[in-house]
Chains A and B, each alone.
Chain A
Amino acid sequence: AQKITQTQPGMFVQEKEAVTLDCTYDTSDPSYGLFWYKQPSSGEMIFLIYQGSYDQQNATEGRYSLNFQKARKSANLVISASQLGDSAMYFCAMREGQGGGFKTIFGAGTRLFVKA
Protein backbone atom coordinates (compact mmCIF):
# COMPACT_ATOMS: atom_id res chain seq x y z
CA ALA A 1 0.00 0.00 0.00
CA GLN A 2 1.06 3.55 -0.61
CA LYS A 3 2.51 5.41 2.32
CA ILE A 4 4.28 8.71 2.91
CA THR A 5 6.30 9.30 6.08
CA GLN A 6 7.53 12.63 7.34
CA THR A 7 9.36 12.06 10.60
CA GLN A 8 10.03 15.68 11.52
CA PRO A 9 6.98 17.34 13.09
CA GLY A 10 8.89 20.62 13.40
CA MET A 11 12.15 22.11 12.19
CA PHE A 12 14.02 25.31 12.93
CA VAL A 13 16.45 27.00 10.56
CA GLN A 14 18.35 30.24 10.67
CA GLU A 15 17.51 32.76 7.98
CA LYS A 16 19.78 32.44 4.91
CA GLU A 17 20.79 28.89 5.79
CA ALA A 18 19.73 25.74 3.95
CA VAL A 19 17.34 23.20 5.43
CA THR A 20 16.38 19.65 4.49
CA LEU A 21 12.90 18.29 5.14
CA ASP A 22 12.75 14.51 5.16
CA CYS A 23 10.29 12.32 3.31
CA THR A 24 10.22 8.60 2.70
CA TYR A 25 7.63 6.74 0.72
CA ASP A 26 6.48 3.24 0.02
CA THR A 27 4.89 1.94 -3.12
CA SER A 28 4.94 -1.18 -5.25
CA ASP A 29 4.14 0.70 -8.44
CA PRO A 30 7.24 1.43 -10.57
CA SER A 31 5.56 4.53 -11.98
CA TYR A 32 4.83 7.33 -9.56
CA GLY A 33 5.27 11.02 -8.91
CA LEU A 34 6.48 12.79 -5.80
CA PHE A 35 5.41 16.28 -4.80
CA TRP A 36 6.03 18.87 -2.15
CA TYR A 37 3.43 21.40 -1.11
CA LYS A 38 3.69 24.42 1.16
CA GLN A 39 0.89 25.55 3.43
CA PRO A 40 1.47 29.00 4.94
CA SER A 41 -0.56 30.28 7.87
CA SER A 42 -3.14 31.66 5.46
CA GLY A 43 -4.15 28.05 4.77
CA GLU A 44 -3.84 27.62 1.03
CA MET A 45 -1.84 24.72 -0.40
CA ILE A 46 0.89 25.75 -2.80
CA PHE A 47 2.56 23.28 -5.15
CA LEU A 48 6.35 23.57 -4.98
CA ILE A 49 8.09 20.82 -6.89
CA TYR A 50 7.58 17.52 -8.70
CA GLN A 51 9.81 14.47 -9.27
CA GLY A 52 8.84 11.59 -11.52
CA SER A 53 9.98 8.08 -10.68
CA TYR A 54 11.72 7.74 -14.05
CA ASP A 55 13.45 11.09 -13.90
CA GLN A 56 17.21 10.68 -13.89
CA GLN A 57 18.00 14.05 -12.40
CA ASN A 58 16.82 15.66 -9.20
CA ALA A 59 14.12 18.26 -9.69
CA THR A 60 14.90 21.89 -8.95
CA GLU A 61 12.65 24.95 -8.80
CA GLY A 62 14.41 28.12 -7.76
CA ARG A 63 15.50 27.71 -4.13
CA TYR A 64 13.78 24.33 -3.89
CA SER A 65 15.40 21.06 -4.86
CA LEU A 66 14.27 17.51 -4.35
CA ASN A 67 16.92 15.02 -3.28
CA PHE A 68 15.52 11.88 -4.90
CA GLN A 69 17.11 8.61 -3.76
CA LYS A 70 15.06 5.94 -5.44
CA ALA A 71 16.71 2.90 -3.89
CA ARG A 72 16.15 4.32 -0.43
CA LYS A 73 12.65 5.52 -1.35
CA SER A 74 13.39 8.97 -0.11
CA ALA A 75 12.42 12.36 -1.54
CA ASN A 76 13.80 15.04 0.73
CA LEU A 77 13.10 18.71 0.06
CA VAL A 78 16.05 21.07 0.29
CA ILE A 79 15.36 24.77 0.69
CA SER A 80 18.43 26.91 0.13
CA ALA A 81 18.95 30.39 1.55
CA SER A 82 15.91 30.24 3.84
CA GLN A 83 13.72 33.30 4.09
CA LEU A 84 11.30 34.34 6.81
CA GLY A 85 8.47 33.76 4.36
CA ASP A 86 9.42 30.09 4.17
CA SER A 87 7.93 29.54 7.62
CA ALA A 88 5.00 27.21 6.93
CA MET A 89 3.82 23.61 6.92
CA TYR A 90 5.38 21.45 4.24
CA PHE A 91 3.71 18.32 2.93
CA CYS A 92 5.33 15.54 0.96
CA ALA A 93 2.97 13.69 -1.35
CA MET A 94 2.94 10.82 -3.82
CA ARG A 95 0.79 9.90 -6.76
CA GLU A 96 0.98 6.44 -8.26
CA GLY A 97 0.84 6.31 -12.04
CA GLN A 98 1.91 8.93 -14.54
CA GLY A 99 -1.42 10.39 -15.41
CA GLY A 100 -3.00 13.49 -14.00
CA GLY A 101 -6.05 11.57 -12.94
CA PHE A 102 -4.70 9.58 -10.04
CA LYS A 103 -5.22 10.36 -6.40
CA THR A 104 -2.40 11.75 -4.31
CA ILE A 105 -1.60 10.73 -0.76
CA PHE A 106 0.05 13.07 1.72
CA GLY A 107 2.36 12.81 4.66
CA ALA A 108 1.60 14.32 8.05
CA GLY A 109 3.64 17.42 7.31
CA THR A 110 6.63 19.23 8.79
CA ARG A 111 6.29 22.68 10.29
CA LEU A 112 9.28 24.85 9.40
CA PHE A 113 10.23 27.86 11.50
CA VAL A 114 12.73 30.30 10.01
CA LYS A 115 14.51 32.41 12.61
CA ALA A 116 15.74 35.94 11.92
Chain B
Amino acid sequence: EAGVTQFPSHSVIEKGQTVTLRCDPISGHDNLYWYRRVMGKEIKFLLHFVKESKQDESGMPNNRFLAERTGGTYSTLKVQPAELEDSGVYFCASSHVSTPNYGYTFGSGTRLTVV
Protein backbone atom coordinates (compact mmCIF):
# COMPACT_ATOMS: atom_id res chain seq x y z
CA GLU B 1 0.00 0.00 0.00
CA ALA B 2 1.26 3.46 -0.84
CA GLY B 3 2.17 5.67 2.08
CA VAL B 4 1.28 9.28 2.77
CA THR B 5 2.61 11.47 0.00
CA GLN B 6 3.43 15.13 0.33
CA PHE B 7 4.27 17.56 -2.42
CA PRO B 8 6.49 19.48 -2.84
CA SER B 9 9.28 18.17 -0.68
CA HIS B 10 10.89 21.59 -0.57
CA SER B 11 9.65 25.07 -1.34
CA VAL B 12 11.46 28.38 -1.19
CA ILE B 13 9.29 31.45 -1.64
CA GLU B 14 9.54 35.14 -0.98
CA LYS B 15 7.66 36.86 1.78
CA GLY B 16 4.23 37.86 0.54
CA GLN B 17 3.92 35.07 -1.98
CA THR B 18 1.47 32.19 -1.88
CA VAL B 19 2.34 28.54 -1.46
CA THR B 20 0.11 25.48 -1.59
CA LEU B 21 1.15 22.24 0.00
CA ARG B 22 -0.51 18.99 -0.92
CA CYS B 23 -1.02 15.77 1.00
CA ASP B 24 -2.31 12.46 -0.32
CA PRO B 25 -3.20 10.19 2.61
CA ILE B 26 -3.30 6.44 2.59
CA SER B 27 -6.34 5.29 0.68
CA GLY B 28 -9.23 4.63 3.03
CA HIS B 29 -7.87 6.72 5.89
CA ASP B 30 -10.63 9.04 6.98
CA ASN B 31 -8.45 11.02 9.38
CA LEU B 32 -5.95 13.47 7.99
CA TYR B 33 -3.80 15.76 10.09
CA TRP B 34 -1.50 18.66 9.41
CA TYR B 35 1.41 19.42 11.72
CA ARG B 36 4.24 21.90 11.59
CA ARG B 37 7.71 21.94 13.10
CA VAL B 38 9.49 25.23 13.25
CA MET B 39 13.26 24.92 13.52
CA GLY B 40 14.29 23.37 16.83
CA LYS B 41 10.84 23.46 18.36
CA GLU B 42 8.18 20.89 19.02
CA ILE B 43 5.85 19.53 16.39
CA LYS B 44 2.67 21.57 16.55
CA PHE B 45 -0.78 20.41 15.60
CA LEU B 46 -2.49 22.53 12.95
CA LEU B 47 -5.73 20.78 12.09
CA HIS B 48 -7.57 17.53 11.69
CA PHE B 49 -9.95 16.41 8.95
CA VAL B 50 -12.40 13.57 9.19
CA LYS B 51 -13.18 12.87 5.59
CA GLU B 52 -13.90 16.31 4.12
CA SER B 53 -14.92 17.95 7.40
CA LYS B 54 -12.66 19.95 9.67
CA GLN B 55 -12.85 18.15 13.01
CA ASP B 56 -10.43 20.41 14.83
CA GLU B 57 -8.65 23.46 13.46
CA SER B 58 -7.58 24.88 16.80
CA GLY B 59 -3.92 24.84 15.82
CA MET B 60 -4.19 27.00 12.74
CA PRO B 61 -2.06 30.04 13.54
CA ASN B 62 -4.05 32.69 11.70
CA ASN B 63 -6.27 33.36 8.72
CA ARG B 64 -3.34 33.31 6.32
CA PHE B 65 -3.58 29.54 6.48
CA LEU B 66 -6.35 27.73 4.64
CA ALA B 67 -6.76 23.97 4.53
CA GLU B 68 -9.14 22.03 2.36
CA ARG B 69 -9.94 18.41 1.74
CA THR B 70 -12.36 18.28 -1.11
CA GLY B 71 -14.07 14.94 -1.53
CA GLY B 72 -12.37 13.55 1.53
CA THR B 73 -9.30 12.41 -0.36
CA TYR B 74 -6.22 14.60 -0.72
CA SER B 75 -5.77 17.80 1.24
CA THR B 76 -4.15 21.13 0.50
CA LEU B 77 -2.73 23.69 2.88
CA LYS B 78 -2.39 27.17 1.43
CA VAL B 79 -0.39 29.95 3.01
CA GLN B 80 -1.26 33.38 1.67
CA PRO B 81 0.56 35.68 2.04
CA ALA B 82 3.57 33.87 3.46
CA GLU B 83 5.58 35.43 6.28
CA LEU B 84 9.10 34.67 7.46
CA GLU B 85 7.83 32.91 10.61
CA ASP B 86 5.94 30.41 8.46
CA SER B 87 9.21 28.69 7.60
CA GLY B 88 9.41 25.14 8.88
CA VAL B 89 8.58 21.57 8.00
CA TYR B 90 4.93 20.82 7.38
CA PHE B 91 3.92 17.24 8.02
CA CYS B 92 0.79 15.49 6.96
CA ALA B 93 -0.38 12.29 8.62
CA SER B 94 -3.31 9.96 8.23
CA SER B 95 -4.95 7.27 10.30
CA HIS B 96 -7.91 4.95 10.17
CA VAL B 97 -10.50 5.16 12.91
CA SER B 98 -10.39 1.42 13.42
CA THR B 99 -6.68 1.33 14.28
CA PRO B 100 -6.39 3.52 17.38
CA ASN B 101 -3.47 1.61 18.80
CA TYR B 102 -1.16 2.56 16.04
CA GLY B 103 0.61 5.76 15.42
CA TYR B 104 -0.10 7.90 12.47
CA THR B 105 1.49 7.27 9.13
CA PHE B 106 3.35 10.42 8.32
CA GLY B 107 4.41 11.84 5.02
CA SER B 108 8.01 12.91 4.52
CA GLY B 109 7.08 16.53 5.04
CA THR B 110 7.38 19.72 3.03
CA ARG B 111 10.23 21.98 4.03
CA LEU B 112 9.03 25.54 3.52
CA THR B 113 11.49 28.39 3.52
CA VAL B 114 10.19 31.93 3.33
CA VAL B 115 12.87 34.49 2.46
Contacts and interface: CB of A to CB of B under 8 A. Distances in A.
Interface of A: 4, 33, 35, 37, 42-48, 50, 52, 91, 93, 98-101, 103-109
A109 B42 contact: yes
Nearest to B98: A100
Interface stretch (B15-23, B60-68, B74-82, B100-108): B100-108
Given A44-B108, A101-B50, A103-B48, A108 B97 contact: no
Contacts of B99: 100
Name the residue among B43, B97, B108 with the largest chain A CB count within 10 angstroms.
B43
Nearest to B59: A103
Contacts of B104: 45, 47, 104
Contacts of B59: 103
Interface residues of B, number: 33
Nearest to A105: B45
B83 interface: no
Q: Would you list the 8 A-B pairs with minimal beta carbon distance, nearest first?
A: A47-B103, A45-B106, A106-B43, A100-B100, A108-B42, A100-B97, A44-B108, A100-B95
Contacts of B105: 47
Contact of B31 (A93, A101, A105): A101
A66 to B, nearest CB: 12
A98 B108 contact: no
Given A33-B100, A52-B101, A109-B42, A103 B33 contact: yes
A5 to B, nearest CB: 10
A103 B45 contact: yes
B31 A50 contact: no
A43 B89 contact: yes
Interface string B34-74: 01000001111100101000011001000000000000000
A45 B33 contact: no
